[in-house]
Amino acid sequence: MRIHISVAQQQLSLYADDGSLLRRYPVSTAKAGVGECCGSFQTPRGRHLIRAKIGDTVRFVAVDKGHNAETVPGMLPDGAESLAGKPNEEIILTLDAEGVYGIRCKPHYGLGMVALIIAGEPVNLQAAEKVKAPGKAGKLFKELFAEAEK
């Protein structure tokens, strides 16, 4: 199952695994607009913390052209396989190992298109925090790591 939220259309679309549209719902995104600042009451575009179970799968779908999803070198648990999707390619990540998974959109990494996934306990959090990320991604990962410790 996949969820897509359109800020422009103020609409949430729910899709089945085969890509067929199941339902659409009207939504109201933040009055303060879009942005990623913690506590800003804005609708986030590119900064996400996902808590999952070991063995879960996460599907990344490039809704807009020119995006991809890939793991960040050094931000993977021991035993986890890295992955790198091509632009516009849907990829599925199975969370086989316990820990923190850093995810980026490579073309927009410096702009802060990142996510942090925690499967089980964040056992490799300290190692992941040592990875240097460029531009806005570094600031956003710092915020995500702080949230992960809560």
Q: Is residue 54 part of a domain?
A: yes
Q: Is residue 84 part of a domain?
A: yes
Predicted local confidence at residue 44, as pLDDT: 67
Residue whose C-alpha is closest to residue 136's, from 47, 70, 67, 61: 47
Q: Is the pLDDT of residue 2 over 70?
A: yes
Count: domains in the chain = 1
Residue 1 placed within a domain: no
pTM of the model: 0.72
87 assigned to some structural domain: yes
CATH code, 135: 2.60.40.420
Decide if 17 is inside a domain: no
Using CB atoms within 10 A of its CB, is residue 101 exposed (0-12), middle (13-18) or buried (19+)?
buried
More confident residue, 16 or 41: 16
List the domain range (segments joined by +) for residue 72. Answer: 46-148
